């Protein structure tokens, strides 16, 4: 494999370029997939017909939110006092629709005076960050950069 001057040419350079219209359409679909994946964990992968990953994403976020709320972890809101509260809110928002499920589950409110509540806070934040990671994965798959 070589170019006109005998220089090696990578497969990407050899491949015919994707038409801009098709590229824009693919980008739009990828955004929709990522948004769906954020709103309902696993939905993005389900739209891409990756059933195993869809079920695992849904169950992972669901279990983490369920256990986190059961341990009475702190679910941050938009009225944070400092940067850590704001970051916690962003992480919790990452769970998408499960944010409101967690709010509904925590009928007695958070209790971080015990280690359990502190662990619960981490479980809830991890659920959100994991869901954002899963949404990014679904976006990359939809763009054709990952399998």
Partner 1 sequence: MTAWSLIGLLSAMIAMKLSHFQALVVFALVISIAFGFLGRRRPIDRVKYILWTLLLFLLIGVGIGWAMYPFSH
Report the interface residues with partner 1, using CB under 8 A.
52-53, 56-57, 60, 63-64, 66-67, 69-72, 101, 104-108, 115-116, 119, 122-123, 126, 130, 133-134, 137, 147
Q: Give me the helix-helix angle, 98-105 and 83-93, nearest 10°.
A: 110
Nearer CB in complex with partner 1: 15/115: 115
Minimal distance in Å, beta carbon 63 to partner 1?
A: 5
- Name the one residue in this structure whose structure tokens are 């409110």: 109
Dist. CA 50–CA 67, nearest whole Å: 26
Nearer CB in complex with partner 1: 74/86: 74
48, two tokens: 């891409």
Nearer CB in complex with partner 1: 1/145: 145
Angle in degrees, CA 28, 30, 35, rounded to 5:
95
Minimal distance in Å, beta carbon 12 to partner 1?
A: 22
Minimal distance in Å, beta carbon 117 to partner 1?
A: 11
3-state SS, residue 112: coil
Nearer CB in complex with partner 1: 17/104: 104
Minimal distance in Å, beta carbon 52 to partner 1?
A: 6
DSSP per residue, 116-144: HHHHHHHHHHHHHHHHHHHHHHHHHHHHT
């Amino acid at each position: 494999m070589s170019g006109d001057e005998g220089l090696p040419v990578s497969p990407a350079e050899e491949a015919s370029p994707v038409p801009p219209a098709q590229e824009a359409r693919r980008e739009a679909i990828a955004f929709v997939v990522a948004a769906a994946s954020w709103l309902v964990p696993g939905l993005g992968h389900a739209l891409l017909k990756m059933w195993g990953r869809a079920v695992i994403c849904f169950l992972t976020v669901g279990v983490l939110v369920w256990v986190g709320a059961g341990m009475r972890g702190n679910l941050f809101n938009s009225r944070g006092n400092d940067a850590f509260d704001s970051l916690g809110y962003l992480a919790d928002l990452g769970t998408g629709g499960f944010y409101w499920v967690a709010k509904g589950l925590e009928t007695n409110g958070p209790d971080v005076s015990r280690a359990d509540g502190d662990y619960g806070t981490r479980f809830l934040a991890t659920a959100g960050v994991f869901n954002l990671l899963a949404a990014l994965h679904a976006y990359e798959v939809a763009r054709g950069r990952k399998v």
